[in-house]
Amino acid sequence: MEELAKEAGITVRTLRFYRERGLIPPPRREGRIAWYDDHHLARLRTITALLERGHTLSGIADLAEAFDSGRNVGEVLGLGEPTEETPVRLTPEELADYFEGEVTPENLAAALDLGYLATDGEEIVHISRRLLDVSAALVKEGVPLAAVLAAGREVRRHAESLAGLFTDLLRTHAAESDIPRLRPLAKSVVEAELSMAMDRRLREEPSEPGPG
């Protein structure tokens, strides 16, 4: 414990307090000896970094609980890496910097549940660089992260339906070996239809806000 506290730049008393609060996992025990490892050191450094960013210990404990309950990368990716998306590895503090003030336990749990985020040891993996950058851009424009994630859940539902439609269409009328070559055509149809649908929506008069 003394060695771990020294490496982390904290006092043994602080380390004991963190352990009592459940902020770090218990050590591995061999008889009367308790062993701490790099996993514990990484967690302590994350706690320090999040405290410096204004998070409270209570909030960090809730984040840690959500983080520890998240699915790992293998569970999220399932059959393999995305074919057209680039996963991004982040430390918890890098994620906090991406969405300053918006990385709450509720938002983290929602992103983990959606499968946008997965865990890999003490790192977080976002499944798509494009989705990460778009989400961060929307938040910077003032859209709450909770609203971005709620919209993402709806988009996911419609995207699954569209994927099923085009997969069935291509498998019915094309050879399986031709599907990778024809896949961009399906994306072009969706992009064109979405663009025209947004044109129609934006031409409509904005609805009046409700009372109260």
74-122, pLDDT tens digit by residue? Answer: 777 765 677 888 999 998 889 988 898 898 889 999 999 998 999 888 7
Are the beta carbons of 149 and 155 closer than 8 angstroms?
no
Structure tokens at 120: 């890999």
Name the one residue in this structure whose structure tokens are 């609805």: 207
Q: How far apart are CA 129 and CA 73, in angstroms?
A: 15
The larger pLDDT score, comparing residue 28 to residue 164, is at 164
29-56 tens-digit pLDDT: 888 888 888 888 888 988 888 888 888 8
72, HSE (Cβ side, Cα atoms, 13 Å): 4
Percent of the chain with pLDDT over 70: 96
| Residue 211: predicted pLDDT | 56
What is the H or E stretch that residue 29 is in?
Answer: strand 28-30
Quick one: DSSP state of residue 205? Answer: P
What is the H or E stretch that residue 30 is in?
Answer: strand 28-30
The larger pLDDT score, comparing residue 46 to residue 193, is at 193
Model's pTM, two decimal places? 0.79
pLDDT at 207 over 70: no
| Residue 68: predicted pLDDT | 80
